[in-house]
Structure 1
């Protein structure tokens, strides 16, 4: 199990091993699978797993009661929540009991009786035995912005929250053992760490073949998923789609979006905030506080890789996709731009490489803080700093050679950012010019060049 999921599992295990009764909330993006984590956690432990449906309260209780009866529990046909939880607790032997309620927004958001009954049952039984309740959801915005309103004061009974994050590039590479490194980076730029999407790609196929078969075919799941994703979670999709279409074109500042869309600045701000809450978009922040006069402020990007790919390549050319073979569409509309598109994901791959080096003791200092620097006249892809000020500055270029002039540019950005680079890390899958290779040899470790071979085996 990858480190991130081990940390998630450790979070749950700490509450279980405490022996205390508690209510936890576990949530994340709908394409990041939470169920495998919960399945691992409840394995060989006494548990009951409910999935809440989007139905009326009466139908919800009828469905749950039917599930209990099929498991040998005596309960009336239409119980209330208090009866349902009471019989569930009393029908299981003494000792720890884990109760998982998946998609819990479907029950908490539609009835006040659920949380009231749950807290009463824990109050009445939770001291004599451990009852650990896990409420799971794939609706980030609802959990972070509406849940407390729906629960009221009862939200105070929740002991902990865990947001399940996307998995890193290394985990996706392990999932696709036959895939070449370059195809893996390209695939990560489209699917990211959203594990539920990985199963649609085949590592026996090339990246182009996977895109044509699993994304450009209008009957494929991934072709329709971006629209399902936005329509499932957002109202007024015409507005959101307009904003994201412009962001995919590189229009990423509020004032520029105002001129490009015709929407008011206030309206755009509200919609951007919602996109950020859903992890569909993000706002860029620069490392440190020095050199703020040279920083590019208020930069917004599409954060969800699937949506980013869709709005970059499919959305503006959808009419052509309906009229031509998928491989021809790829050659005309995707092939030329996919390498530059993948560069942003390549930065995340390089960042992961650095932290793995640190874990192995191969990085020159212990990292205390990290980020990026977005300048008006150039960026620093990754900034890493120790607690005592040791600084490493990184440049990442996907399918493009790094040259002497790139070092000059990085040093220029460092001066504007008022950062003094003790180490310079250059990542490239296309190699380095002779000047930089020579400078690296003479730098006593100050200039580090990481090429395709090191990245592939790292």
Structure 2
């Protein structure tokens, strides 16, 4: 299992191995697969799994009861959740019992007594028998911004929260072992670490073939997924789509979005906050607290890769997609811009490379902080720093050669950011000019060159 999911599993195991009864909340973006590692956690343990539907409290209890009967549990007189938990726990004897309730918000939103019955049952019975309850949700916004308020004092009974995060690029590489490095980076720029989407691409196809077959094809799941994400989670999609379309064009400062859309600044701020709450967007911050006078402030970017791809290429050209074959649409409307688009996502791949080197003890110093610097005139793709100020600065060159001019650019930006680079890392999928290669070979050189071979095998 992937390293990140091993960490998630270890988090749950610590609670199970404590021998104490607890309630945990596990949540994440709906396209980040949760079921596999939850099933792994339940393996060889007495457990009950229920996927809550959008239904009334009464119907929910009936559905759960019927499923228990199908599993051989004697459940003829279940008239409350308290009674249901008791029947399930009694059926397994004195050993610990795990309840995994998927989409639990569907219960809480229609039955205000559920949480009180659950906590009451654990309070009265959890001292004599370990009861571990995992409340699982794909509604990030609701969990992080509404759930605690809706539960009131009952929220104090939740022992821990675990947000299931996207997996890194290295795991996508393992998932598609036959895919070329460059196609894998481009695939990651569209699917990201959202493991629930990976199954829709074919590792034996090229990036273009995958996009044409599995995104531009009207019969494919990914064709409409970006719009489903907005329509199922957001109201007034016309406003959100306008803002996302503008952001995809690189207009990402509040004032610039205001001028481009005509919406009021106050309205844009509210809608951006909602996009951020759903993990659809994020506000980018520059590294450090010095050199602020040279920083571009208030920069917003699209966080969801599939949504970013959709609003960059499909949304502005959808009429043409209706009128031409997918391959022709790709050649006309995607091929010219896809490399610049992938270059932005390549930065996260390079950052992951550096962090992996740090984890393996192969980096010149132990990394304490990391980030980027967004300057008014130039930017620094990667900045990592130790707790005593050792600093490495990285530049990511996707499908272009890194040159001496890039070093000059880094040094200029570093000066504006008031950073002194102890090391300069250049990443390139094409190579490096002779000046950089010679400079990197000199004794005590600050320059590190990471080419396609190191990236592919790193």
Q: Structure 1 length normalisation: TM-score?
A: 0.99
Q: Who is 1:8 aligned against?
A: 8
For 1:253 and 1:109, locate their aligned partners in 2 and report how far apart those are by CA, in whole Å.
Answer: 36
Structure 1 position 38, deviation (Å): 0.6
Cα deviation 1:133-178 (Å, max 9, x = unaligned): 0000000001011111221111110000000000000100000011
| Alignment match, 1:444 | 444
Say whether 1:332 aligns with 2:361: no
- For residues 342 and 77 of structure 1, the distance between their equivalents in structure 2, rounded to whole angstroms, comes to 58
Residue 268 of structure 2 is matched in structure 1 by: 268
Gap runs ≥5 in structure 2: none
Deviation at 1:2, TM superposition (A): 1.7
Cα pair 1:65 1:79 within 8 Å, conserved = no
* 8 Å CA contact 2:439, 2:445 repeated in 1: no
Aligned alpha-carbon RMSD (Å): 0.9
1:361-419 deviation line (CA, Å, top 9, x unaligned): 22100001111111111110010101111100000011011111110010000000000
Structure 1 runs, 4 residues or longer, greater than 4 Å off: none
1:457 pairs with 2:457: yes
Native 8 Å contact 2:343 2:397 kept in 1: yes
* Alignment of 1:409 onto 2:419: no
Tell me the residue number matched to 2:102. 102
Q: How many Å apart are 1:445 and its aligned residue? A: 3.9
For 1:73 and 1:325, locate their aligned partners in 2 and report how far apart those are by CA, in whole Å. 54
Question: Could you say which residue in structure 1 is the equivalent of 2:360?
Answer: 360
1:198 aligns with 2:198: yes
> Once the 2 structures are TM-superposed, how far is the Cα of residue 443 of structure 1 from its aligned partner?
5.1
Q: 1:283·1:299 contact (CA, 8 Å) conserved in 2?
A: yes
What is the CA deviation profile of residues 337-368 of structure 1, one whole-angstrom value per residue up to 9, with x for unaligned ones? 10110012111111111112122222100001
Q: Which residue of 2 aligns with 1:227?
A: 227
For residues 277-300 of structure 1, what are the alpha-carbon distances to aligned partners after superposition, in whole Å with 9 as ceiling and x for unaligned?
111001000111010111110000
**Cα offsets for 1:159-202 (capped at 9, x unmatched):** 00000000000100000011000000000000000000000000
Q: Which residue of 2 aligns with 1:246?
A: 246
The 3 A distance-change label for structure 1 pair 384 and 323 is same
- Relative distance call for 1:443 and 1:276 in structure 2 (3 A) is farther
C-alpha displacement of 1:78: 6.0
Q: Please, which runs of 5 or more residues in structure 1 have no aligned partner?
A: none
Q: Could you tell me how far apart the structure 2 residues matched to 1:184 and 1:305 are?
A: 14
Does residue 183 (structure 1) correspond to residue 220 (structure 2)? The answer is: no
Post-superposition shift, 1:77?
6.2
Query: 1:65 touches 1:78 (CA, 8 Å); kept in 2?
Result: yes
Shifted more, 344-353 versus 27-36: the winner is 344-353
1:92 Cα offset (Å): 2.0
SS of the equivalent of 1:79 reads coil
Question: TM-score, normalised on structure 2?
Answer: 0.99
